Chain A
Amino acid sequence: MAIALLIDLILFVVAFLLHVVSCRLFKSSNHSKNLIAIFFFVLCTGLVIFGDIGFAVWGERLVWPIGYIYACILFFSLTASYLITFSAIEAESPSIMITLKVAQAGPCGLIISKLFETLNDDVLLKPRINDLVNEKLVYESEGKYKLTKRGTLFIRIVIFYRDLICVGKGG
């Protein structure tokens, strides 16, 4: 497990750096998709490389198949954590925007009408609707937005969970 942990940590750092470079170089509209592709590529090549080189360097080999399973499970979980964090960083969080605006107002304080002026539908809602279309969770037909199969599955899981814990709509 120690070798799986070590390999995972190295691969995670490499994948993270590659992702940062890709974000800086390419103005892609879908960084999350790139992230998944980069992390998957790094895991596959990394396991092939370290599976053999690891023995020469550390005197220990990843045991087939259990060592690879351990390495993959932790790596997938870390990747999911990074993907979630990245999504939060990429999108403008309303709470963070409000906090920063209040902080910028300084000792005079911020009047709520100022918030409504700048944090409008163009900033908070419309980009999110476009994201849903880009991620193929929603499609536009005859001027109306409708859910794709993926979108329906995704929201059914969320609604099922929220019904399970007896809470209403979020947002």
Chain B
Amino acid sequence: MVYNLYHLVFTLFCFMVNVLVQVIAKRRSRSISLLNSVFIGFFTGFFLFIVLEGMVYIYSFRKGDEVLNLFYNLLLFFSLSYNYFHFVNLGETARRARILTEIYESKGGLSERGILTRYNAHKIVKKRVVRLLRHGQIVFRDNAYFIGKPFMIIASNVVMFMKFIILGMNFEFLAKKGKL
């Protein structure tokens, strides 16, 4: 088996392009949503990845090895891109990041009451409902909310399933804790 450092360099380079394009796209155009900028970055990096890996495959003398190398690189590229997507998402939706920001900006620290004055459940729910409505995941009619597109409910069920597998928590457990 051949170990060539350029495989790793190519993959990391494509990932860097992914990040760079996302940052530039978001900085240059305010109209692009954060999620779309992530997609633009990802597909640019992925396109470059396909081109570079394709060239390596064409000029390689050991094509069987290159197919296996491609699997490794593909997994690494997807994994790094997934991690980056979550880093972007962390600043956008994570409550912990927002709480830390509020404490950081207060300089002298904040009491629990102080944190809840600046950032509270009411604000979170309002913001999330607006986001879900905007993406059509829920719809508002006759003074009530209904499920819209099925994506979010499928994603929610996947998360609940994983919660059950890994943590052993099911709907009943969460309902008892008042979380559902």
Contact = CB atoms under 8 A, between A and B. Distances in A.
A82 to B, nearest CB: 10
A5 B71 contact: yes
B94 A147 contact: no
A121 B27 contact: no
A118 to B, nearest CB: 7
A152 interface: yes
Given A96-B159, A167-B34, A171-B95, A102 B69 contact: no
A23 B138 contact: no
B80 interface: yes
Given A98-B138, A144-B114, 6 more contacts: A2-B69, A5-B72, A81-B83, A96-B155, A103-B153, A166-B26
Given A74-B76, A94-B124, A115-B125, A125 B83 contact: no
A90 to B, nearest CB: 7
A161 B91 contact: yes
Interface of B: 1, 3, 5, 7-8, 22-23, 26-27, 30, 34, 37, 65, 68-69, 71-72, 75-76, 79-80, 82-83, 86-88, 90-101, 103-104, 108-112, 114-116, 119-125, 127-129, 131-132, 137-138, 141-147, 152-153, 155-156, 159-160, 162-163, 165-168, 174, 178-180
Give the interface SS of chain B, mostly helix, strand, loop or mixed: helix
Contact of B95 (A67, A124, A141): A124
- A4, A98, A171: most-surrounded residue (chain B CB, <10 A): A171
Given A5-B72, A145-B111, A154 B100 contact: yes
A45 B61 CA distance: 35
Given A109-B145, A166-B30, A60 B1 contact: yes
A125 B120 contact: yes
Given A99-B153, A165-B27, A166-B27, A20 B144 contact: no
B116 A125 contact: yes
B75 to A, nearest CB: 7
Contacts, number: 247
Contacts of B115: 125, 129, 145
Contacts of A60: 1
A158 B23 contact: no
A95 to B, nearest CB: 5
A137 B100 contact: yes
Given A60-B1, A147-B100, A110 B145 contact: yes
11 contacts: A1-B7, A67-B3, A84-B83, A88-B159, A89-B162, A99-B138, A111-B144, A115-B129, A125-B99, A131-B96, A151-B100
